[in-house]
Amino acid sequence: MSNPAPLPDFTHERVTTVTGSRSGLRITAALHSSALGPALGGCRLWTYDHWLDGVADALRLAQAMTMKNALADIGAGGGKAVIALSPGDVLDADRRRDALLDLGDLVESFGGAYVTTEDVGVTEHDMAVVHEQTRHVVGLPAEDGGAGEPAAGTALGVFVSIEQVLLSLFGSADIAGRSFVISGLGQVGSRLARRLADAGAVLTVTDINPSALAIADQLGATWIDADAAVSTPADVFVPAGLGGILTASVIEQLPVRAVCGPANNPLAERSGADALAAKGILYAPDYVVNAGGVIHLALTGRGDSPAEVEQRIRAIGGTLSDVLGLAALEGITPLDAADRIAHARVAAAR
């Protein structure tokens, strides 16, 4: 096993890592802030070179959830959980269930201060298993009375954000005829691609899973190799897979006018926001534009109607407008502007 990457700064209220009593897997729950309410954030089931890399991922993601939830204004703090698999570790159905039950025990130990839901590698049906051990979970299957899959809400939030980006760049929010490169056609990326196609966008798409080519064919989109996503010219690059795709070298040759997508942490380093700005590329901060899913989960869980939930998700466009306006006024990056607004809300709550 390789040495772990350095841990990020510890600014969290509580972080607990356990070895699951049933599964034997290292599971981390990180509560970054509860100033605005109980921490809400999903559980990621992923493979890491070292289990401490899973801890580091939970720390980073929990902090990002604090910022996302603050700007989404849902009365929730930030948290995240990670179930860390070792390279080559494949879960059969029984051990997967054991891992989810172990997660439920860990979440229950927070006494309601952290509420979990699905994230990468975890589904709404997995949440039903977690729910056997704790009531502090949202995103249960709709047939069980839960909020269901949040991907549609995430896709809608990114869609209205793209409209705002186009308005800022071109003076019109009209998507028809504008070109987009979408990297990732999973639950969110595929839904977003369909919305953009229906609005008349010119789409170029890719995914590491070759079966997604069928989605491209359905939408009349151009399919490219995954490696070509960051070198294909377009009005907007839409990162919709795992994070870290925008490295310094990628940004240097990125041939687009804007970056706006649902992927968490698409910037490999924070300095990437400055590099994008220096190139004249508008960056819509990920945790602003991809908040539709968490809004769906939080508001549906408290009993808001579908119409009320959709209205709040569509308001993400207005939030992004405020962020871009502050960035222009202060001469700072949109990421710095979003951070400033989020930090002010958390500080006021404290």
Among 80, 131, 257, 312, the active-site one is: 80
* 3 DSSP assignment: P
φ, ψ at 121 (rounded to 5°)? 85, 0
Q: Which residues, at least 6 apart from 267, have a Cβ–Cβ distance to it below 8 Å?
A: 243, 244, 246, 273, 283, 286, 335
Six-digit token pair at 54?
């899973």
Six-digit token pair at 328?
């222009």
Q: Which residues, at least 6 apart from 168, have a Cβ–Cβ distance to it below 8 Å?
A: 282, 321, 324
279 is catalytic: no
Q: Which of 31, 123, 128, 36 is nearest to 80 (CA)?
A: 31
Q: Which residue has the tokens 């990628």?
A: 250
| CA–CA gap between residue 296 and residue 304 (Å, rounded) | 9
Q: Over 230-298, what HEC string results?
A: HHCCEEEEEECCCCCCECHHHHHCCCEEEECCCCCCCECCCCHHHHHHHCCCEECCHHHHCCHHHHHHH
Which residues does the annotation mark as catalytic?
A: 80
